[in-house]
Amino acid sequence: MLSTKENLKQIEMDTIQQEPLLTELTPEAAATVEGGLLYRVVLKDPNSSLNVRSLPNITKSSKIIDSFKNGAIINASVGTTGGFRKLIGRAGWVAQRFTQRVLNTSAGFIKLT
């Protein structure tokens, strides 16, 4: 028979072993865990930058507040509003069509389809 301490340790191990790995989660579920997903800025012109806007649109009321260089890795929302992703951990929105989902691994960033 297991002691109370050993029993609690076994319960703890069982719980850890049943936790899903982040790689097993859907992007939506991973976003809930991580607060957002990683994306690479992908632009046709390698010397251009992606504008960060104050609002999720390109009207005059949406000011350009920053920019990212082509190839930059950003943390942004899974969902979109009007074709824009909300940045996580900083203010602003970026156009979804210029982002590509990536996964951070010990070997570097891997493109996800």
What is the CATH code for 28-111?
2.30.30.40
Read off the pLDDT of each residue in 82-95 and give the average, rounded to a whole number: 94
Q: What is the rounded end-to-end Cα distance, in angstroms, of the chain?
A: 50
As a whole number of angstroms, the distance between CA 78 and CA 51 comes to 18
Quote the pLDDT of residue 106. Answer: 57
pLDDT tens by residue, 72-81: 999 999 889 9
Quote the pLDDT of residue 16. Answer: 42
* Domain segments of the chain as ranges: 28-111
Whether 52 contacts 87, CB under 8 Å: yes
Quote the pLDDT of residue 79. Answer: 87
Query: Looking at per-residue confidence, does 10 or 68 come out higher?
Result: 68
Whether 102 contacts 71, CB under 8 Å: no
Quote the pLDDT of residue 107. Answer: 55
pLDDT tens by residue, 8-31: 444 444 444 444 444 444 555 544
